[in-house]
Amino acid sequence: MITHSWFFIFIIFTACSGPDSSETTGPKIGNVIYPIIITSNPIVFVTTVPVVSMQGQLNAFGNHGTSIVDSIPGGDLYIRYPSGALKNLTESAGYGVKSSGIQEGKKPIAVRQPTVHWSGNKVIFSMLVGGPKERFDRAAERRWQIYEAFGLGENDVVTIRKIPYQSSKYNNFSPVYGANDDIFFVSDAPLYDMKHTYPQLDEYESTPTNTGIWKIDLNAKKVSMIQHAPSGSFDLYVDSFGRILFTKWDHLKRDQQADADRYDNGKYKAFDFPNENPDAKQTSFPEFDENGKLIADKNGVLYELFPEARSIKDPTKDPNESINNLNQFFVWQINEDGSEEETMNHVGRHEFGGSYMPPVFLDDPNLTDRLPLYSANIKMRETFAGNAGIFQLKEDIDNPGTYMGTYAMEFGRETAGRIVEFNLPPGKNPETVVMTDYTNPTLDYYPDRTTEKLPSMTGHYRNPLRLTDRTILVSHTPEYRLNEDDSIDPGTTRPRYIFQLKKLIPNPLGADMIAGAPFTGGIVKHIRWWTDAEKPKEYLGPLNEVDAVELRPRPRPIAKMMATNPIEKSVLDEEGVDEQELKKWMMEKKLALIVSRNVTMRDRADVSQPFNLRIPGGTQNVPTGGKIYDISKLQFFQGELTRSYLKQSGRRVYSRPVRNTLTHPDIEKFYTDKGNVELGLDGSMAAFVPAGRALSWQLVDPDGKAVVRERVWVSFAPGEIRTCASCHGINSVTHNNLPEPINKPEALRNLIKNWKNLK
């Protein structure tokens, strides 16, 4: 019996591969003939073979898998011209295997994430070349690499070149052009070239992830890392203001795999190295340190020091603290030299929603898990889940400062969901932002896959693109699944989603928008590839159409670079320090300098952590009655790659107080002990920190107990002098209605005097 879902598949399979330029009508699907969808400019996009894999390229994280399970070759780079004509760009340049051929040897490809050059006449993209040559062949040499395509006109000869100077040993993807044509991309290359730590494992599932953002300087013929991300950065985009925007996955929490081993009969077999040195040996640590403090479990695996415990069974858990299980995808920004990394305009869960944060201390009624009412985006904020975020962000080229992205869950959605838009140019207060939701918010709450769809369920959407004609192009799937009783070849794939390019149109049954007519009519291909099975597997059907970009020129921005705040610059001048000399020294030492003016001042929206803060013998900010917390130091933690697992190659980040390493052999001399720096009586803080490595920190009381913790990892650029006016940036005012502090930080003055003696 042919079911309804199988019939739906059938009519898509019979779709033509797209109209040619002589047609006056568009694609025919079933008995429906669609008109040609006109665009002002050509649209470049990629096709991919539908896969169901944790590390497939459409997934939210860990999406750079190269195994034949993660990335089946057979996709291509396409262009669709305003006339409706399609051209397979990679095939025209001699890449790829045609339909029905076996995807084997050096010719097969997979393609992802094209970006248009400022001139509008070329694109940069990532391509995976090669496929298994026979049964049991793992094709292990495959790596995502960056390429550039020229000759994109209808009658041009297409040429594709591989970008030089990138490493062929690692996966390089999500490339974008910088303001001066440097190339920025995401890579899984190891931090500080520590090959023995490869691959880096994320902080959640201990899955191989990328390490952050990298840069190719074509003039200097040099590759460098500009941002370190313990759980991965994704979807790079350079906006009209010169900011590199990206989605970062923050999972700053203790190791759930180690906790599973300890409390839930886990089989991960976590273990530790004493340091990152290449000759370091797996170490079983004693349960107690020299002071009798519990530091490791009975198997010799270290307990984490930072942040709070994630399991109530953890014997190191403070009974007065809530457990911490942070998970969030936020949009971040960074300058082209790696400086000023922060969430976009300092936006957070208070404005956009997301991660849940319980009150840190259980005995303080001032603290709450409730989000305050200061945000203008409350209605949308309440629909954003903690295990979700905004992906594939792109700017409206004709409306600078306005951005469109996909709100998607972390698992099972191929990073598809709702289409959202917001206006957030540099300097705009995120409290004032009101987000637009073009699609139905109930898309996030679909029922079990085997049951009927909700009435509001119109499918899932991704890769939104505001076109020159002001329409919105998306990749859309109606979300179907073959029924279990369908008669199919067991060797074929069973995709849950198949995405097609479509424009959003008003929903005649509601106030939201839905997918309109197919853009290409469906690109059908017969894919055959080797696995461990006796015969090649096969897929015959439509390919995904994703990652669309409009081929048009846009104004070249001015590259954003590091700059020292005038207040901090005045302190350097008063102390007779040449700023450029200081920066040169920091660059040689791979250090950054970070400064706060008054860490007792907290943004009024931050209500889950203490805000009644006092420096003993110094300044205080106590906006309400109740418990007052003394703070005397800021403790810095660095993400070290020293945690591993018996059944998983690679290393996970482990939080350690800043200490000497091979890269920073004498950093400890700038700290009192265990990564601590003293606070000034004016509430200020200043510290030299390792550059290029993810860092986090916490305010501690005179006894060393944590009071206020940072919730994310941040990296700094060599030579950067970074000012965070307060420990948690102030969007409008503090809890006691004070603006951002403007005092000259005494801690900076003291640090500089000390530096003159220690440099």
E-strand ranges in 104-256 read: 105-116, 123-131, 144-150, 159-162, 172-177, 183-187, 200-201, 212-217, 222-228, 233-238, 244-250
The pLDDT assigned to 66 comes to 94
Mean pLDDT of 703-710: 96
pLDDT band for position 12 (50/70/90)?
very low
Residues in a beta bridge with 126: 112, 146
CB 409 within 8 A of CB 385: yes
Mean pLDDT of 119-126: 98
**Encoded tokens for 474:** 């998306």
pLDDT band for position 511 (50/70/90)?
confident
E-strand ranges in 221-364 read: 222-228, 233-238, 244-250, 270-272, 328-334, 342-343
The pLDDT assigned to 170 comes to 98
What are 315-370's pLDDT values in tens digits? 999 999 999 998 899 999 999 999 999 999 999 999 999 888 999 999 999 999 99
What is the four-CA torsion angle of 188, 194, 199, 201, rounded to 10 degrees? -90
The pLDDT assigned to 497 comes to 87
Single out the residue of 401, 416, 413 nearest to residue 474, CA to CA: 416
Chain mean pLDDT for the chain: 91
Q: How far is Cα 595 from Cα 171, in angstroms, rounded to an integer? A: 35
- Percentage above 90 pLDDT, the chain: 81
CB 98 within 8 A of CB 73: no
pLDDT band for position 375 (50/70/90)?
very high
What are 295-304's pLDDT values in tens digits? 999 999 999 9
pLDDT band for position 23 (50/70/90)?
very low
CATH classification code of 4-254+326-550: 2.120.10.30
The pLDDT assigned to 385 comes to 86
The pLDDT assigned to 139 comes to 73
Q: Which of 163-172, 469-478, 504-513 has the lowest mean pLDDT?
A: 504-513
Asked if the model's pLDDT at residue 25 lies above 60, the reply is: no
Mean pLDDT of 471-492: 63
Asked if the model's pLDDT at residue 168 lies above 80, the reply is: yes
Mean pLDDT of 694-700: 98
What are 263-302's pLDDT values in tens digits? 999 999 999 999 999 999 999 999 999 999 999 999 999 9
- Residues 6 or more apart in contact with residue 558 via CB below 8 angstroms: 179, 242
Strands 513-518 and 500-506: antiparallel
Asked if the model's pLDDT at residue 561 lies above 60, the reply is: yes
Q: How far is Cα 630 from Cα 471, in angstroms, rounded to an integer? A: 55
Q: How far is Cα 704 from Cα 695, in angstroms, rounded to an integer? A: 19
The pLDDT assigned to 141 comes to 82
- Percentage above 70 pLDDT, the chain: 91
Q: How far is Cα 586 from Cα 95, in angstroms, rounded to an integer? A: 46
Asked if the model's pLDDT at residue 672 lies above 80, the reply is: yes
The pLDDT assigned to 508 comes to 87
Query: What is the DSSP secondary structure assignment for residue 258, as one 8-state letter?
Result: H
What are 412-457's pLDDT values in tens digits? 889 999 999 999 999 999 999 999 999 987 765 544 443 444 545 7
CB 128 within 8 A of CB 99: no
Asked if the model's pLDDT at residue 16 lies above 50, the reply is: no
With 0-12 / 13-18 / 19 or more C-beta atoms within 10 angstroms meaning exposed / middle / buried, residue 155 is exposed
The pLDDT assigned to 7 comes to 25
- Characterise 729 by phi-psi region: left (phi > 0), alpha (psi -120 to 50), beta (else): beta
Q: Where is pLDDT greater, at 138 or 502?
A: 502
- Residues 6 or more apart in contact with residue 184 via CB below 8 angstroms: 175, 176, 177, 178, 213, 214, 215, 216, 226, 236, 238, 244, 336
The pLDDT assigned to 482 comes to 40
Asked if the model's pLDDT at residue 20 lies above 70, the reply is: no
What are 569-584's pLDDT values in tens digits? 999 999 999 999 999 9
pLDDT band for position 496 (50/70/90)?
confident
Asked if the model's pLDDT at residue 534 lies above 80, the reply is: yes
Strands 472-477 and 123-131: unpaired
The pLDDT assigned to 345 comes to 96
Q: Where are the domains of the chain?
A: 4-254+326-550, 567-758
What are 207-256's pLDDT values in tens digits? 999 999 999 999 999 999 999 999 999 999 999 999 999 999 999 999 99
The pLDDT assigned to 453 comes to 47
Place of tokens 């003394």: 630
Other C-beta atoms closer than 10 Å to the C-beta of 361 total 18
- Residues 6 or more apart in contact with residue 451 via CB below 8 angstroms: none
Asked if the model's pLDDT at residue 44 lies above 60, the reply is: yes
With 0-12 / 13-18 / 19 or more C-beta atoms within 10 angstroms meaning exposed / middle / buried, residue 54 is middle
CB 689 within 8 A of CB 658: yes
Asked if the model's pLDDT at residue 115 lies above 70, the reply is: yes
With 0-12 / 13-18 / 19 or more C-beta atoms within 10 angstroms meaning exposed / middle / buried, residue 349 is buried
**Encoded tokens for 365:** 């009624």
pLDDT band for position 18 (50/70/90)?
very low
Single out the residue of 361, 329, 307, 251 nearest to residue 608, CA to CA: 361
